[in-house]
Structure 1
Amino acid sequence: MNPSLVTDVGLTDAIFHRRAVREFSARETEPDSVEQLLVAAVQAPSALNQQPWGFVVIHGRTRLADYSQRVKAFLVATYPTSFEVHSRSDLYEDPHYDILHGADTLVVIYSKRGRLHPTEDCCLAAENLMLAAYGQGLGTCPIGFARPWLDLPEIKRELGVPDHWVAVFPVVLGYPAGPVAPTPREEPDVANWVWETS
C-alpha cells in the first residue's frame, strides 16, 4: 500500500470541498487506491484504541446494480408507512433509479459488537476514508438507506461478514462525472461559549 497514492491536497481544502457525489464517470477505481483509503480509515481515533471497525469492499457495476435493485425492494417491502422512505417510495419503485448512483465500488464499514462506542468510531473512520478519497480525486456518497439490508443475516453470509458485525456506514466511491456544486452550510449554532483566561 503506497502512501504516495494520496494526492497532496491540504486538509482544509478536503474538509471544505469534499462533496457527496451522485454521478460517476466510467473510469475504473483501482484496488490500490481503495487499499490506501482503508489505511487512512483505520488511522481514525477510537475509544480506548479498540479499533472496532471491519470492512467489506465490493467492486463491479453489474454487481452493484443488482444490489441497488435488491436494496430498493427491501426498503419498499419492509419499512413502516410512517418511515421517511415512504416519501421516496415512487423513486425506489422506479427500476431505473440506482440507489448506489452508478458507482463502481461500495465500501461497507461494520462495527464489531461488545466494544465501547463502536458506531461513533466507525463514523470517524468513514470521515477519514471520504477525505482521503477526495485527496485521490475520487468521489464518495454515504448510502444510509442501504444499511438495514447490509445487516441482514443472509446478506452478511453472502458477503462473508461475521454474524456479530453490525453495518454502520455504507459508502460508494468512484471518479466523479464532473464537479459537484457546494451545498450551503449554516454557521455553527453555539449555545454557549465559556473561554476563561486562567
Structure 2
Amino acid sequence: MTLTDGIEDLATAAARGDRDARDALLAAIRPEVLRLCGRLLPNRQDAEEACQDALLAVARGIHRFEARSSFHTWLYQLTANRARSTYRSLRRRWLVEAGGVPLPDPPDPRRTSVVAGTRLDLLEALDAIRAEAAEALTLRDVLGLGYREIADLLDVPEGTVKSRIHEARRQVRRRLTDGDD
C-alpha cells in the first residue's frame, strides 16, 4: 500500500464519520496543503493562513467527499479555492488598514521577489475573471491536474473544461500584459 492509498483510505473512513481517521488525515495532508497554498500565495504567512483555513474546511466538509474523484483531486480544488479566498480576504483587510489606498501596481521589485510579484499579479487576474474559469485554470496550470480529472471534479464535460481554461488563459494573459480591463 502506498501513502496515497493510505490517505484515500483515511479520507473514505473520515467521510463516514470516523474521527480518528479524520484527525490522522488532517495530520497527513497538512504538508501537501501548505505546499499547494505556497504555490499560490506570495509569502509563507499567507500560505500558512490559507493552509489552516483549508484544513478546517476539510475537517468540516469531509462528509461531503463522495469519492467521485480521488481525495487528492477533491483536496486540490478545496485548497485552491481557500487560497484564493484567503488572498481576497487579505486584500480587503489591507485596503481597510491602508484607508482605501489600492495595492501598489505593479509590486515594488525592491520589496517583492519576482515570484511573489508574479503570484500577486496572477491572483489579481484570477480574481477579475469568472469564478468557473479561474477555478479550472488554477486546477490545470497551478496545481497540474489533468483535463479529465478536472472534468470529473467539476462535473462538467471535458470540452467545457478545455473551453474554460482557454478563455481563462486568454483573459489572464490580457490582464497581465495590459494591466487593466
Q: TM-score, normalised by structure 2?
A: 0.27
Query: Relative contact order (alpha carbons < 8 A, sep ≥ 6): 1 or 2 greater?
Result: 1
More strand by share: 1
More helix by share: 2
